[in-house]
């Protein structure tokens, strides 16, 4: 079997998870990785056993024959890094948040379409088997028409963690930090998926960190027909990570909606149903990125330049919604 040859860009915290997930994908392999720092690249090589590591992105792209690149550097670099790959004709899977803002997303999408090259936002949760099942249930009308969504994605970070330092990407405006682009994007994307449209009205509030990025924010999205999503993201506060979808004919609760393995369906006059959808776990017990990687491979095999499950127009709308939220808070990244 001819394997899809992957390069990785960005050798930080999330990179080993992608590398390990690839071991679960029969027709793919990571052949090289690149960082802006050769020390970081070598450390990643030692940790994973990967031999080909580079201290410059361009060097990896020039030397290696790659079918696809996974980009996992900080948000501020996503646009220029993805552009670099697309200009060389290499397919791209770029971590969330796709770019810093909608303007960058639009330019990247236009470039991929003009060059006829595959591009996708690595919204890995979309490809989780429980979320795939959830979409089937909604499409089948199991709870009627979705009318209300409540979802929170909050991780209270230890104030002594290095992630809380102002130069870390979470807190640093120069690296396009903040809870919205890091955590809130999952909730915004989830709402886009449930209601199949962008909100017609947005009301929000945010508590800012002293570095000028959002630390906790709450947002209400209104849609035509009095439908509504109430969402929260924070890296300061702890909340139950759960999504609750209320439809005209029932309710679906998604416990741990970031790593779901159960859907709880309640319908009037029927017993509550627990649907257990065991995800395919990694050897270390983690639920990983193998599902999104398989989707990239499927698209490449079928000659698709975007995934029907995570289309580029939807990614653009998600970036536009996040731009609108940041505009309400008067939050701009340097250079915007």
Ligand X SMILES: NC(=O)c1ccc[n+]([C@@H]2O[C@H](COP(=O)([O-])OP(=O)(O)OC[C@H]3O[C@@H](n4cnc5c(N)ncnc54)[C@H](OP(=O)(O)O)[C@@H]3O)[C@@H](O)[C@H]2O)c1
Q: Tell me the DSSP string of 166-218.
A: TTSTTT-GGGT-SHIIIIIHHHHHHHHHHHSS--SEEEEEEEEPTTSSEEEEE
Query: Does 13 sit near ligand X (CB under 6 A)?
Result: yes
Q: Identify which of residues 47 and 201 has a Cβ nearer to ligand X in the complex.
A: 47
Q: Give the residue among 164, 185, 176, 217 at the shortest CA–CA distance from 329.
A: 217
Binder among 74, 128, 217, 233 for ligand X (CB under 6 A): 74
- Chain CA centroid to CA 271, Å: 34
Element (H, E) at 291: helix 290-301
- Beta carbon of residue 123, minimum distance to ligand X (angstroms, whole number): 8
Note whether 245 and 200 are within 8 A (CB): no
- Beta carbon of residue 126, minimum distance to ligand X (angstroms, whole number): 11
Binder among 169, 291, 294, 297 for ligand X (CB under 6 A): 169
Binder among 12, 162, 224, 334 for ligand X (CB under 6 A): 12
- Beta carbon of residue 78, minimum distance to ligand X (angstroms, whole number): 7
Query: Does 70 sit near ligand X (CB under 6 A)?
Result: no
| Residue 278 CB partners (closer than 8 Å, separation 6+) | 129, 261
Burial of 276-285, coded b for 16+ CB within 10 Å and e otherwise, reads eeebeebeee
Select which of 17, 23, 36, 96 is catalytic: 96
Query: Does 10 sit near ligand X (CB under 6 A)?
Result: yes
- Work out the number of other CB atoms within 10 angstroms of the CB of residue 181: 29
Query: Does 19 sit near ligand X (CB under 6 A)?
Result: no
- Beta carbon of residue 176, minimum distance to ligand X (angstroms, whole number): 9
Interacting span for ligand X (CB under 6 A) from 22-30, 35-43, 58-66, 248-256: 35-43
- Work out the number of other CB atoms within 10 angstroms of the CB of residue 42: 15
Q: Identify which of residues 145 and 238 has a Cβ nearer to ligand X in the complex.
A: 238
- Cα 222 to Cα 199: distance, rounded to the nearest angstrom: 5
- Cα 264 to Cα 71: distance, rounded to the nearest angstrom: 34
Site for ligand X in 88-117 (CB under 6 A): 95-96
Q: Identify which of residues 222 and 256 has a Cβ nearer to ligand X in the complex.
A: 256
- Beta carbon of residue 27, minimum distance to ligand X (angstroms, whole number): 21
Nearest 10 degrees: CA dihedral of 313, 336, 68, 282?
-90
Query: Does 72 sit near ligand X (CB under 6 A)?
Result: yes
Burial of 63-81, coded b for 16+ CB within 10 Å and e otherwise, reads ebebbbbbbbbbbbbbbeb
| 96 in active site | yes
Interacting span for ligand X (CB under 6 A) from 167-175, 201-209, 215-223, 266-274: 167-175
Q: Give the residue among 134, 266, 129, 152 at the shortest CA–CA distance from 194.
A: 134
Query: Does 178 sit near ligand X (CB under 6 A)?
Result: no
- Beta carbon of residue 334, minimum distance to ligand X (angstroms, whole number): 13
Query: Does 56 sit near ligand X (CB under 6 A)?
Result: no
| Catalytic residue annotation | 96
Question: Which chain residues interact with ligand X by CB under 6 A?
Answer: 9-14, 35-37, 40, 72-75, 95-96, 124, 167, 169, 175, 182
């Amino acid at each position: 079997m001819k394997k899809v040859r992957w390069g990785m860009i960005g050798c930080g915290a999330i990179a080993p998870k992608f590398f390990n997930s690839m071991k679960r994908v029969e027709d793919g392999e990571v052949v090289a990785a690149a960082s802006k720092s050769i020390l970081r690249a070598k450390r990643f090589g030692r940790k994973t056993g990967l031999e080909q590591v580079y201290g410059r992105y361009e060097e990896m792209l020039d030397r290696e024959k790659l079918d696809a690149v996974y980009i996992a550097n900080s948000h501020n670099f996503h646009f220029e890094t993805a552009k670099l790959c697309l200009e060389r004709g290499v397919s791209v899977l770029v971590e969330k948040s796709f770019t810093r803002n909608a303007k960058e997303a639009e330019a990247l999408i236009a470039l991929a379409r003009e060059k006829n090259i595959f591009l996708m936002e690595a919204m890995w949760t979309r490809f989780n088997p429980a979320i795939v099942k959830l979409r089937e249930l909604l499409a089948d009308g199991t709870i009627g028409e979705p009318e209300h969504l409540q979802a929170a994605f909050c991780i209270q970070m230890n104030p002594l963690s290095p992630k809380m330092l102002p130069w870390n990407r979470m807190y640093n405006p120069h690296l396009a930090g903040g809870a919205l682009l890091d955590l809130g994007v999952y909730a915004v994307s989830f709402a886009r998926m449930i209601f199949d449209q962008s909100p017609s009205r947005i009301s929000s509030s945010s508590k800012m960190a002293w570095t000028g990025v959002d630390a906790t924010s709450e947002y209400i999205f209104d849609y035509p027909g009095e439908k509504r999503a109430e969402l929260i993201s924070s890296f300061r506060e702890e909340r139950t990570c759960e999504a609750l979808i209320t439809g005209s004919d029932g309710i679906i609760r998604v416990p741990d909606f970031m790593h779901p393995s159960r859907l709880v369906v309640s319908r009037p006059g029927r017993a509550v149903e627990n649907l257990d959808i065991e995800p395919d776990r990694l050897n270390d017990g983690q639920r990983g990125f193998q599902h999104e990687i398989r989707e990239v491979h499927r698209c490449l095999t079928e000659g698709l330049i975007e995934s029907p499950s995570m289309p580029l127009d939807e990614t653009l709308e998600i970036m536009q919604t996040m731009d609108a939220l940041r505009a309400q808070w008067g939050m701009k990244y340097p250079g915007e």
